[in-house]
Each structure stands twice: as C-alpha cells, then as structure tokens.
Chains A and B, each alone.
Chain A
C-alpha cells in the first residue's frame, strides 16, 4: 500500500463544475503539499499546509490531521485547470517528500 493515496486517479468534468480531489496518507507528516503539473510542463506548488484550510483564488485546500486526509477543491472549474494534481507529504526530518501518483483532471468546455 502506498504511503500517499489519491482519488480519483482520473477525473473528467464539465466547465463550471465543483471539483474535489482527495488525498490520504499513512505516515507522520510535517506538512502536506498540493502540486500542479501541466502536460509536458513543470511543477507548480499550489499549497503547503499543516492544519486547517487555505484558499487561493478558486482553489481551496483542507487538511484533517486526525484523519490523515486532505482535499483539494476547485470552484467554477475551467478548461485551463486541466492538469495532473499531485498530493505530497513532507515527512519531517529533512522534509523528504513522498508523492502520490496524481489525479489527472480534464475539464471539458
């Protein structure tokens, strides 16, 4: 079993829909990261959080430390949101990051 599990693996939705991507982890963490990777492109760090909730534009990330679970939400989704969204956890010592396999999101116009 992977230490960081994401669901769903793939998600196709219509423009405007509310999107939720889930992440569960089984290790102790110092922080949880949400990253965005566009096809053929680099990686952008969206959020780093260790408790509660963070919001940036149409993106919201939440984390429940007790349940070892995080969600990434996208409101009013747009085709340009199409990308792979990666959940990753920092494991404290040296902040070595363990990555989930990613969720491939496709927003249809």
Chain B
C-alpha cells in the first residue's frame, strides 16, 4: 500500500539545465499539490493539480516553472534553465478530495544547483 512516491530523492543540476521532479500520488488520489521548502524557510504552496488540469498555480514562479498531471502517469514539476536560487526541497502531497481530506506527503526531492 504505497504512499506518495517522489523521485528522484536527490537531484543535482548545473545552472541552465532542466530539472524534472516526479510525483506518483497515493492509489485512488486525484488531487496533487506541490510545495517548496527553501533552506531555513518554511514550506510554501506552489501549485494544485487534478488529473489533466491545473487548478491553482498562484504559488509558482511565472517563468521557468511548469507542472502537469497527465491522465496516465505521475505528476511532473519541471524547472527550466535552473538557477542557484532553485536549490530547495520540493514536496508533493496528494489527497482524495480538495477539501476536508488529509494530504499525504511524499519524502521530497532535494534539488541542488551547482
């Protein structure tokens, strides 16, 4: 009975490269949330997706960042042309419904930019 699976656990990229972070929600969950935790800071909401739809991306930087949750397969958070400031832990959470249901968190992807 797998929980939320994120991969990779650690990702190292050079400035200018692309980073792809994957999140497989818990079985039966169709709501996915991405959060970012910068060093020594709290978690911040980035984007909320349902299958094939972006519901709320108000926390996501307008440039270089994109997210998707296709009908089949994991949710992907994509960061193009990474910069040092993108170094952070990125957490994914999933839930059964949007309101009133607990969110289950993955172990996160720690992204380091050289």
What is the interface of chain A, defined by CB distance below 8 A to chain B?
30-31, 33, 35, 41-45, 48, 86, 88, 90, 92-102
Q: Would you give the shortest CB distance from B83 to chain A, in whole angstroms?
A: 24
Are A100 and B99 neighbours in the complex by a CB distance under 8 Å?
A: no
Interface contact B91-A43, CB-CB below 8 Å:
yes
| Residue contact B44 to A99, C-beta cutoff 8 Å | yes
B13 contacts chain A at the CB level, 8 A cutoff: no
1/0 contact string of B14-49 vs chain A (CB within 8 Å): 000000000000000000010100000111110010
Q: Which residues of B contact A (CB under 8 A)?
A: 33, 35, 41-45, 48, 55-56, 59, 91, 95, 98-108
Query: Do the beta carbons of A97 and B42 come within 8 Å of each other?
Result: no
Which residues from A are CB-within-8-Å of B91? Answer: 42-43
Rounded to whole Å, the gap between the CB of B63 and the closest CB of chain A is: 22
Q: How far is the CA of A55 from the CA of B99 in the complex (A)?
A: 22
Give 5 A-B contacts (CB < 8 Å), ordered by A residue. A43-B107, A88-B43, A90-B99, A95-B95, A96-B56
What is the bound-complex CA distance between A93 and B95, given in angstroms? Answer: 14
Cβ–Cβ contact A43 & B48, under 8 A: no
Chain B residues whose CB sits within 8 angstroms of the CB of A102 once the complex forms: 42
* Contact present for B105 and A94 (CB under 8 Å): no
Q: Is the CB of B99 within 8 A of A42?
A: no
Q: Given that A101-B41, A102-B42 are known contacts, is A94 also in contact with B107, CB under 8 Å in the complex?
A: no
**In the bound complex, do residue B108 and residue A98 qualify as a contact, i.e. CB atoms below 8 Å apart?**
no
Cβ A94 vs Cβ B42 within 8 A = no
